[in-house]
């Protein structure tokens, strides 16, 4: 009974504190759970081992660098240069603009792409434009190797990022189809560009975004690092250097960018998630949940979607569900296909959550009522979730 109480108290604390700081919330939840289930010395040992784990530290450092890259591209006008020189037509533009901005985590990112969607979608339904801005901003999370949400989630599951991307790719294609059929297909008109095309303005910032995954993938194939997270760190560091050199932003200005982007919060999320995950494994909660005989589909898909919807986050549901899954079924790591089903289900709940900042920003910017937005999103979300339930019944 004490273990159950500790688990529910820790989850409650996680939800409450996450309104202020997500990383702090997850780490605190782990410590609270440990206080109910483990000796103090054991909790201290787990925290020490987590904080001194090189793989966790390199991953945390990489997560610090990624939002700084986004801030540099934003301040230098690199994102605008990409958008103004893509020249790909209206429908691809409406999909790719939020996607490109979404590839780099930044506060208020949905607000950066919203004016571009509004400009390109002039005359189109406002609820459709809000849906486009949210939907296509988040589906790159499924396959982009430097998406912090995907990197951290895969690490929690005991998997490498390139192990899970092939299994997530079908969900990515499904998302593109749903986005086109329900949103893009209903837009009309063409884009008119007033400025001349500039290959230089397009290639430099686009190179910053594409360089990191290219280096990361290459290093992992060429070298056999004992600590695989070193490749992610070196890759994003290379992108940051290219961003600074190509944008001519001075190092002094990086300080202001850091104040805006608050990159340390991303490192805190990484550390907090591993503190929680490692304490959870030792707490005995997994064994108690296993005794409830929850089906994998109920746990990974239904509860995963529900937590994504309720919390408006991906990290919180993942930090709860995956440790439960591993503990319940006595596994050291999750099968890649199980991870893909779980991650997509959580992502669907997150995308449509009213407490998700990108949702609130988009409906406010496009002056759309929440019920109108949810109505537009309902059918693609239902199809995506139903597909995961069917896959879960057969493959989880």
Q: What is the DSSP string of 2-52?
A: HHHHHHHHHHHHHHHHTTT-HHHHHHHHHHHHHHHHS-HHHHHHHHHHHHT
Contacts of 304 (CB under 8 A, 6+ apart): 317, 321, 342, 345, 346, 349
CA 213, distance to chain mean position in Å, is 16
pLDDT tens digit string along 58-76? 888 887 887 888 788 878 8
Neighbours of 174 (CB within 10 A): 18
| Separation between Cα atoms, residue 266 and residue 149, nearest integer Å | 10
**200, exposed or middle or buried, with CB in 10 Å at 0-12, 13-18, 19+?**
exposed
pLDDT tens digit string along 21-70? 778 888 898 899 899 999 999 999 999 999 999 988 988 888 788 788 87
| Separation between Cα atoms, residue 389 and residue 396, nearest integer Å | 10
pLDDT at 107: 53
| Separation between Cα atoms, residue 17 and residue 32, nearest integer Å | 12
| Separation between Cα atoms, residue 155 and residue 163, nearest integer Å | 11
Tokens of 324: 């439960």
The label of the residue with tokens 């997530």 reads 168
pLDDT at 7: 83
pLDDT at 39: 92
Question: Quick check: 110 and 133 in contact, CB under 8 A?
Answer: yes
| Separation between Cα atoms, residue 392 and residue 305, nearest integer Å | 13
User: Backbone phi, then psi, for 11, in 5-degree steps?
Assistant: -65, -40
Neighbours of 291 (CB within 10 A): 9
Cα–Cα distances in angstroms (integers) from residue 354 to residues 84, 166, 260, 374, in the given order: 31, 30, 25, 9
Q: Is the dihedral of CA 241, 245, 251, 253 positive or negative?
A: negative
Q: How far apart are the first and last CA of the chain?
A: 29
User: What is residue 82's three-state secondary structure?
Assistant: helix
Domain ranges of the chain: 99-192+284-396
Query: Tens-digit pLDDT profile for the chain (396 aa)?
Result: 888 888 889 888 877 887 777 788 888 988 998 999 999 999 999 999 999 999 889 888 887 887 888 788 878 888 778 777 877 778 888 888 888 777 766 555 676 677 778 777 777 888 998 999 999 999 999 998 888 889 889 988 999 888 999 999 999 999 999 999 999 888 887 767 777 888 888 888 888 877 887 888 788 788 888 888 888 888 889 988 888 888 878 778 888 888 877 888 878 877 887 888 788 878 877 677 767 777 889 889 998 998 888 777 888 889 888 988 888 777 888 999 999 999 999 999 999 887 677 887 788 778 888 888 889 999 999 999 999 999 999 988
Widest pairwise Cα distance in the chain = 69
Cα–Cα distances in angstroms (integers) from residue 245 to residues 4, 64, 250, 342, 361, in the given order: 53, 19, 9, 39, 32
């Amino acid at each position: 009974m004490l273990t159950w109480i500790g688990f529910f108290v820790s989850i409650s604390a996680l939800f409450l504190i996450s309104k202020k700081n997500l990383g702090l919330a997850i780490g605190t939840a782990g410590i609270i759970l440990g206080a109910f289930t483990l000796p103090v010395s054991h909790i201290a040992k787990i925290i020490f081992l987590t904080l001194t784990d090189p793989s966790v530290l390199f991953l945390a450092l990489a997560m610090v660098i990624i939002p700084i890259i986004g801030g540099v591209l934003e301040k230098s006008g690199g994102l605008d240069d990409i958008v103004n020189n893509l020249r790909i037509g209206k429908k691809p533009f409406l999909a790719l603009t939020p996607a490109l901005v979404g590839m780099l985590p930044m506060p208020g990112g949905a607000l950066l792409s919203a004016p571009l969607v509004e400009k390109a979608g002039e005359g189109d339904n406002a609820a459709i434009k809000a849906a486009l801005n949210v939907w296509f901003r988040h589906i790159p999370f499924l396959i982009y190797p430097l998406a912090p949400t995907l990197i951290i989630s895969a690490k929690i599951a005991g998997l490498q990022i390139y192990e899970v991307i092939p299994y997530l790719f079908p969900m990515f294609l499904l998302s593109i189809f749903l986005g086109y059929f329900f949103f893009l297909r209903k837009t009309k008109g063409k884009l008119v560009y007033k400025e001349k095309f500039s290959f230089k303005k397009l290639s430099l910032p686009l190179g910053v975004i594409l360089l990191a995954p290219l280096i990361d993938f290459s290093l992992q194939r060429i070298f056999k690092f004992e600590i695989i997270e070193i490749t992610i760190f070196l890759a994003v560091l290379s992108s940051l250097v290219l961003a600074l050199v190509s944008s001519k932003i001075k190092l002094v200005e990086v300080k202001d960018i850091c104040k805006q982007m608050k990159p340390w919060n991303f490192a805190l999320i990484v550390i907090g998630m591993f503190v929680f995950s490692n304490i959870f494994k030792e707490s005995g909660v997994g064994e108690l949940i296993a005794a409830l005989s929850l089906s994998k589909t109920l746990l990974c898909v239904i509860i995963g979607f529900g937590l994504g919807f309720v919390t408006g986050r991906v990290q919180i549901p993942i930090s709860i569900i995956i440790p439960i899954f591993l503990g319940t079924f006595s596994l050291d790591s999750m099968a890649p296909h199980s991870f893909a089903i779980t991650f997509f289900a959580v992502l669907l709940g997150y995308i449509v959550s009213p407490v998700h900042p990108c949702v609130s920003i988009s409906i406010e910017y496009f002056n759309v009522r929440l019920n109108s937005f949810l109505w537009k999103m309902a059918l693609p979300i239902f199809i995506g979730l139903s597909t995961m339930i069917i896959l879960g019944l057969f493959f989880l």
